[in-house]
Every structure is written in C-alpha cells, then in structure tokens.
Amino acid sequence: MFRNFAVKSFAVAALLSMNLLNAGQPEKNSFKETTSLLDAGGPFYLYYSSERIVASLDEKINAVRDLCIASLPQGEAAQKELIAKYFSFASNLMKGSGVSEISGAGASSISREGDLYSNKFFMHHYKEKNKGLLWRLFGAAPHSLNDELGLLPADTAYGEFFDFDARLLWNFLKSESEKSGIDKLKKVFADFETTLKNKDVDLEKLLESCDGRFGQIVTLKPDRMSVIPVGINKFVQIPQPGIALFIKVKDDYLFEILKKKLSRFIPPPASGAVQPDPNDKKIIIAFPLPLPLPFSPVIVQENGYLIIASNSELLDSIRSAGKNASGLISTPEFKALSAGTPDSGNGFKFVSERFTRTLTDIQFGIMRTPTGEGTAAAEAMRRLNPMSNLKVYGIWQVRDDGIFTTFNSNLSVGDILVLQCAVVPTAIVSGMLLPALSSAREKARRINCMSNLKQMGLALKQYSMDHNDKFPELDGAAGLEALRKNDYLSDYKVYTCPSSNTVRQGKAGQSLAEENVSYIYFGGFSEGENPDMPIAFDKPLDHSRFVNVLFVDGHVQGYIGFFKNCTDVVNMLKSRNNYSVDDLKRLDEKAAKLGAQINK
C-alpha cells in the first residue's frame, strides 16, 4: 500500500514538474527580430508581442456580429443579413490592411549629446506575411531623401515628405466595397467618381498622374511679425508664416485641372506687359480677401513636382534652397537634430522648437480674454503640455520585415508617454472643474451687469426729474452720453458689461459710443408710461443665453433664453407683457433701428 502511494505520489510530482517546466518556457514571438534594431541601455525600452491578440481579432469581430444579430427581433432577416455584410466588410478590411500580419512592436530611447535622445520604433511582420496594404502603401525600398530635404528654406519650422500610394488605397477600398455586397457602400464610391466626372476630372487619370510622393512645409520669419485674430478682440503676434504643398507628378494633368478651376482668380496681365507663355507651368492667384498675412498663392510645376506656395517670396526661397544648398540643411539646428539619422528612407519629418512654441502661443492667446483673464490657466496648460518646446527630426523606412522609424528629439519615448499620462488626468479634472468655475464666474458677471443697469436706472430718474419727467431722447449710446456729459453717471465702468468681448471701457473725456457701451438704450420714453416698457438691456450675446433688462419703473430683471439680436429680446418681452398697439410699434421700430446700427 505504501509502495502504491509512493509510486502515485512520484507520478503526480513528475507531471507537476513537467507542467512547471512547460510554463516557464518562453513563448514563441518576434522579440529577437523586433529588438534587433533597438538600442538597449537607455531610459526607455519596450517590446510588445501582438501575435496572440491579432490572431483573435477575427474571432472577436464575429462575436460582436453574433451579439448584434441576436439582439434583433425575430423576422428581421434582411437587417440581420445587412449587419453580417458590414461585419464581413470590417473583417476583410482588417485582413487586407495588414494589421493582422503585425507580429509585434518595439521602441527604445538612448541619450545623445546635448539635450537630445535617439528614439527608435519598429513595427514588425514576418517576411512571408507581407501581403497587407500597410506594407505597400508607404512606398517600396528606402531611397535618398536629399532632393526633398534640399527644397526646405532655412526658415522652415515644420516640414515633411512621405511616400504614399493614393491609387493603391483607393483601389483597395473600392474593391472591398464592391465585394461586400452592400449597395450603400458601392454607391458612395460610384457617386464620388461621377461627381468628379461631372466636374471634368477623371479620377483614374488623376491618381495615375500622381507619382506617390507628397510634402508640406511651414516657414516662420522671425524678423517679420504678424498679428492674427484668435477670437473677438483677441490677437496674437507670431512670426510671419508661409505654407507650401508638394505633389510629385508624372505629367501636367493635375496642373491643368487647377489652372482651369482657378481661372477666375488669375488676374489678367497688366497693360503693356509681356504676355505669359501658355506652356509656362505657373499660376499666380489673387483672392479678393483682406487677410492679416501675405497670401497670394502661386502654383508651379517644375523638376517633377507640383508646388503650391502661399506667396511668390516663399516659392523663390524654395528654389534658392534647392540651387544653392542654403536651406534648412545648412542650419545648425537641423545639423544637430539630424546627426546619426539614416540618409535614405520613405519619408521624413522635421519639427522646430519655433513651430511648437508658436502653436503654444496661439493656444495661449485663445484661452486669454481681452482683459487678460485666463492668463494663469493658459500658463498652467503651457507648462503641462510636453509638446510646448518639442523639436524632432525623424525618418521612416519600409523594410521587407516591417516599418522602422528613427528620430532624434529633446524628449524620449518614455518622456512623451509619462507626460501625456500626467496631462490627461489633469485635463480631465480641469474639464470637470472649469465648467463649474466658468458658470460661477458668469453668474457673478450677470449680477455685476444687473448692478450697472440699476445705476443707470437711478441716473435716468435723476435726469427725468430735471427734464420734465422725460428720459434722454436719443437712442443707443448717444442717449446714455447725455447722462455722462451732464454728470448724472460719469463712471465709464458702469457702461461696460464684464462679459463683453466686443466692447472696451471708455477713457476719461471720451464720448460714449457703441464701441465703449455694452447696453442697448431705448430713448424717448418718460415717467408715467407703462412700467413694463424696457429702456435698456444687455447687448445680445454678451451673456450666454441670458439678458438683463431695465424697465421704465427702475426695476431690473434677468431672463433666460438665446437672444441673438435686439428683436429677439423685444419679442420675448412682448410675449410676457401687455403692450398697447402704439407701444408695440415703437418697440419694433427701435429694435430694428438699433439692431442695424450695432451690426454695422
């Protein structure tokens, strides 16, 4: 008996040992292949195997499909069939895209000289699993990027070029939609092609005309500052920007389309000027728009590229950079950022600290009010934003086993992830608190505004006592000016709503006008009239869905509602009060007159 027990115990122990040994064996994955391109020993190193989750994607899609179909009532066979088709379409997109062929991904960061990190990211697939769209969409083998880099002017703040097969993407999506059997999907693609055809654009010919490479740049001129509007009475001063787009083309089909479609914006040659050569591939466009920036687009086709630049000066800078090698590649900033990066690839991206700093300044300006409120919150968001001083230069390469990206930056991959993790919760908390704080602040402003109207009411009473019970005759700010210049109410602050973004407080000695008065005044009324007649109220839209109204008898009342003009306020009051026919006529006339006057 003891012997049998010992034998059984030994057998159980042996089985457990085998299971433990099997459990400890490493899982087969792409760790070795993926990490072979990464750098160990730095502040960040990561590998993720996606094989298990990718293998179950189709199963999960089918499970969701079955759940959706099961939730439908009996007798909905057509609807169930349609749902099955949509899920089949999604599954085929996933398989055809190449997502299901991703075996793993890895990233690393190591320190470089100065404040830079060398960051690498690799999305791997096994060489035999390379049929997906993802591995063909962004070009084939890496190639030299020197020609494209040479086009970037020295003051480039943002620039990127990339391989992209637009025709391949269109054909893939169109083919999958046709195979799906879903009429609505097929109609979307057919209608799009028909719409272009009706505009004399052959989509197939257009896609064939593009040679699979695109680019865009943003320049910032530090010696020229531009003031741009970022809201009502809110402006930000930034270095003068310029924008250019690049499309590599095989022929002039796209250029001729643009030339034809934009013909009404192409100014005729000046009298006596040399007539342009019809074969010259250059278009200068004149838009009749008053803009705060120099914007007179130029379109040219040269050296295999169609270039759309925001003005002729930028085009000249692009040409000069290419001819004289005096562009971005010659600057110390680019040389430092690009050190150690490959010379060939399927695309590159350059982001200067000047670019991210300018974007942050614009965001800062949007958050601030004309009176300076919001400065503290904007400054806090600036400090929290990890991208506020970001600088990057990176290149990506399409390989036979995946897509490999290497980029130098003043942030490591870990920095970006950790800082974003810190920003997101803070943004969520701020998003919860700011509406409550904003609501409380708006209520305080409404009360302040109500106090302003009450003071006006007292001043109007005093005025009427001195003028045979009559209030100032003129409408609008001109009527309130009678109170100011005769010292019934001379405090400019009382005439300004704290919520207004369109009115600025008047200065000492300045007459009241619509530009420095936040209130609508209905002149010509007198004591003894209908006490519910309005004589003053907030200019519409100063408060969010709210308006304060001062009445003839001196009381002030607030009303909730959306009032976009004077007529809306008057119509609301007409629905709440009993006015005579003559009073109704007077109110309508004054609302129309002052509404037109304010909107001039």
Domain positions in the chain: 151-267+279-326, 442-598
Residue type at 569 in one-letter notation = V
Q: Cα 359 to the chain's mean position, in Å?
A: 11
Mean pLDDT, rounded, of the chain: 84
CA triple 385-390-395, angle to 5 deg: 135
Mean pLDDT of 588-594: 90
Mean pLDDT of 498-513: 80
Q: What is the pLDDT, as a whole number, of residue 61?
A: 85
Cβ(350)–Cβ(328) under 8 Å?
yes
- pLDDT bin (cut points 50, 70, 90) of residue 337 is very high
List pLDDT tens digits, range 166-211.
999 999 999 999 999 999 999 999 999 999 999 999 999 999 999 9
Q: Cα 149 to the chain's mean position, in Å?
A: 26
Pairing of strands 556-560, 546-551: antiparallel
Q: What is the pLDDT, as a whole number, of residue 437?
A: 52
Q: Cα 535 to the chain's mean position, in Å?
A: 43
Q: Cα 293 to the chain's mean position, in Å?
A: 20
- Give the three-state DSSP class for 497: coil
Q: What is the pLDDT, as a whole number, of residue 14?
A: 45
| C-alpha radius of gyration, the chain, whole number | 34
List pLDDT tens digits, range 262-321.
887 777 765 544 455 556 677 777 665 566 677 889 999 999 999 999 999 999 999 999
Give the separation between CA 121 and CA 409, rounded to whole angstroms: 13
Query: Quick one: DSSP state of residue 310?
Result: S
Q: Averaging pLDDT over each range in 2-11, 245-254, 441-450, which range is the top one?
A: 245-254
pLDDT over 50 (residue 13): no
Q: What is the pLDDT, as a whole number, of residue 271?
A: 54
Which pTM value belongs to this model? Answer: 0.68
177: phi > 0 → left, psi -120 to 50 → alpha, else beta; which? alpha
Give the separation between CA 336 and CA 392, rounded to whole angstroms: 10
Cβ(191)–Cβ(104) under 8 Å?
no
Cβ(591)–Cβ(567) under 8 Å?
yes
Q: Cα 263 to the chain's mean position, in Å?
A: 30
Q: What is the pLDDT, as a whole number, of residue 26?
A: 64
Mean pLDDT of 475-498: 90
- pLDDT bin (cut points 50, 70, 90) of residue 6 is very low
Which residues touch 253 (CB under 8 Å, ≥6 apart)? Answer: 205, 206, 209
List pLDDT tens digits, range 119-178.
999 999 999 999 999 999 999 899 999 999 999 999 999 999 999 999 999 999 999 999
| Crossing angle for the helix pair 77-97 and 166-180, to the nearest 10 degrees | 150
Q: Cα 197 to the chain's mean position, in Å?
A: 31
